Amino acid sequence: MKKCNGVLLIGPTGSGKTPLGEFINNKKLFHKNCIHFDFGANLRRIEQLSKKNKFEQLKTEFSLLENQDIDIIINSLKNSALLKNEQFYIAENILLSFIKEKQISENDIIILNGMPRHTGQAFNIDKIINVTGIIYLNCRDDVVYKRINTNSGGDRVKRIDDSLDYINKKLKIFNNRTIPLINYYKEKNIITYDINISVNTTPEQIYDLILNK
């Protein structure tokens, strides 16, 4: 299988990755059509189907996952933890299922939202995706809290992981594990768009800044 092209969204929880990904979906970057892959949304979907005992539907949507994989995902979400390196095959199977379902070709760009989350995953994702750009949503912690409290991105409805404790855990993981991804890709000479995010920054504004850089 030929590697697909990908652009990685990097930003802390609440910075607007999902609204931006949805806005860019079916638009063009680098003269290619874009398809948004929201890894976190897929994980929450798996958890939701499992809790509702909709195992047949779960197996249909995520046919490559085993029962033990589903247990690992649910536990990971419960503890706001990242998948371990040896568990990357779970993320890989979710991504490969998405590529197959959407019939993504080397002429498209996958907007990677939420994966890879650290350099170990980046090393593995390089075998599947040709990352051609990074969009870094540079958002201070105090702005993150305000954006989530006001739901400025419009995507925080009924998010059980938006308690202060969950947010603090995710920010700590992001600062310690995810931020190093920026240097990882810079060392590969991958173009990086560093976008400062305020409380009211919109996906449209971010998209325009990317096009005009």
Structure tokens at 25: 């979906």
Token pair listed for 186: 């810079």
DSSP secondary structure code for residue 15 in this structure: S
Q: In what order do the strands lie in the sheet with 191-196?
A: 28-29, 32-38, 108-113, 4-10, 129-138, 191-196
Q: What percent of the chain has pLDDT over 70?
A: 97
Whether residue 92 is predicted with pLDDT greater than 70 in this model: the reply is yes
Instruction: Give the per-residue pLDDT at 158.
Output: 58
Residue 81, pLDDT above cutoff 90: no
Q: Is 4-212 a domain of CATH 3.30.1490.20? A: no
Domains in the chain: boundaries: 4-212
Write out the two tokens for 167: 């947010």
pLDDT tens digits along 120-133: 899 889 989 999 99
Instruction: Indicate the pLDDT class of residue 94, thresholds 50, 70 and 90.
Output: very high
pLDDT value for 68: 92
Q: Tokens representing 213?
A: 């850089």
Give per-residue pLDDT as tens, 144-159.
999 998 888 777 665 6
Which of the pair, 162 or 18, is modelled with greater confidence?
18
pLDDT for position 160:
60
Instruction: State how far the Cα of 178 lies from the Cα of 119, in Å rounded to an integer.
Output: 8
In this prediction, residue 77 carries a pLDDT of: 86
User: What is the pLDDT, as a whole number, of residue 60?
Assistant: 86
The predicted model gives 14-38 an average pLDDT of 92
Per-chain mean pLDDT for the chain? 90
Mean pLDDT, range 50-59, rounded to an integer: 90
Q: Which helix (H) or strand (E) holds 35?
A: strand 32-38
